[in-house]
């Protein structure tokens, strides 16, 4: 768990933190090089009450490359 996630966990109640985790797991990062898909939560991030899509620079856990990955709401993917 990253420092920001730890900080937020200490500031909010356990029920809210569970909702934040659940929603963050629905936001997926997809590697354009190898197609690997991970949730924002798995990368140590939080995305809660957000909308739209965004691009973020992330190192892929599968291929090891650093790529601009699209972050999109895909709660049923992987």
Q: What is the pTM of this model?
A: 0.78
In a domain, 42, yes or no: yes
Q: Is residue 78 part of a domain?
A: no
User: What count of other Cβ atoms lies within 10 Å of the Cβ of residue 2?
Assistant: 11
Domain count for the chain, please give it. 1
Q: Which two tokens stand for residue 44?
A: 């140590």
Residue span of the structural domain in which 49 resides: 3-73
pLDDT in tens, the chain (78 residues): 566 677 777 777 788 889 999 999 999 999 999 999 999 998 888 898 988 899 999 999 999 999 999 999 988 765
**DSSP states of 37-76 as a string?**
EEETTTTT----S--S-EEEEEE-TTT--EEEEEEEE-TT
């Amino acid at each position: 768990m990253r420092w920001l996630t730890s900080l937020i966990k200490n500031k909010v109640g356990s029920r809210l933190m569970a909702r934040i985790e659940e929603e963050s797991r629905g936001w997926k990062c997809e590697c354009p090089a190898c197609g690997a898909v991970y949730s924002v939560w798995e990368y140590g991030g939080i995305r809660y009450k957000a909308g739209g899509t965004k691009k973020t620079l992330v190192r892929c856990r599968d291929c090891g490359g650093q790529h601009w990955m699209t972050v999109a709401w895909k709660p049923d993917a992987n």
